[in-house]
Amino acid sequence: MINGQMHEHISNFMSKHKLPKGLRLLVVRNDGLLVWDGRPDNSSQAMAALCGGVWEAANAMAKAAGQVSVQDFRFVFDSTDRGVLIFPIEGDRQHFYLTAIYQGCVNPALLKRQVHGLGTKLATHVRALPRPTRSTPVPQRTGYLFSDISDEEMDRLFGI
């Protein structure tokens, strides 16, 4: 599903849920591309890229420490009244992150629970979406540009 369609589906989903004040939510693809932002501004795509990067870095660290699966993990970077939460959302064919950035929060534990619940509902919603269909057929390959080329010839072609 292309980002525009996913953006529309997530916007419709989020419009049905009451979100706490002082909370900015983003939905980010696992490659760091922004899918949806509840309060878009000039930093939206940069925030999405950082979210994807910090999750992948934390994931690599967890695997280095012997953790096989991080599906039940979440990323939390916070103080007493502000912070960043990242929850993974497993879609049917793509993985997303629900990112919450908050400040001025009186009860961060309640906020984390609310965002986690919202992420769980969003994951169910995303998995229930219809799979996209191609409107144009993919052309079949009829041949290759190179049929028999050596590594040395490739090096000369691409200047390695």
In a domain, 91, yes or no: yes
In a domain, 8, yes or no: yes
What's the confidence (pLDDT) of residue 25?
A: 94
Q: Can you tell me the distance from the alpha carbon of 112 to that of 143, in angstroms, rounded to the nearest whole number? A: 54
Q: Can you tell me the distance from the alpha carbon of 24 to that of 19, in angstroms, rounded to the nearest whole number? A: 9
Total domains present in the chain: 1
What's the confidence (pLDDT) of residue 153?
A: 82
Tokens of 54: 């910090």
Tokens of 58: 């934390």
In a domain, 157, yes or no: no
Domain that holds residue 111: 3-128
What's the confidence (pLDDT) of residue 2?
A: 46
| Residues paired with residue 84 on neighbouring β-strands, in sequence order | 77, 101
Q: Can you tell me the distance from the alpha carbon of 75 to that of 97, in angstroms, rounded to the nearest whole number? A: 10
What's the confidence (pLDDT) of residue 1?
A: 41
Q: What is the DSSP letter of 135?
A: S
What's the confidence (pLDDT) of residue 135?
A: 62
Q: Which of 38, 41, 37, 6 is nearest to 19 (CA)?
A: 38
- The pTM score is 0.74
In a domain, 153, yes or no: no
What's the confidence (pLDDT) of residue 24?
A: 93
Angle subtended by helix axes 108-128 and 3-15, to nearest 10:
130
pLDDT in tens, the chain (160 residues): 445 688 888 898 998 988 777 899 999 998 999 999 999 999 999 999 999 999 889 888 888 888 776 667 888 898 888 999 999 888 767 789 999 999 988 888 888 899 989 988 998 888 888 776 666 666 777 777 777 788 888 888 777 5
DSSP assignments along 49-87, one per residue:
HHHHHHHHHHHHHHHHTT----TT--EEEE-SS-EEEEE
CATH number of the domain that residue 114 is part of: 3.30.450.30
Q: Can you tell me the distance from the alpha carbon of 122 to that of 19, in angstroms, rounded to the nearest whole number? A: 13
In a domain, 159, yes or no: no
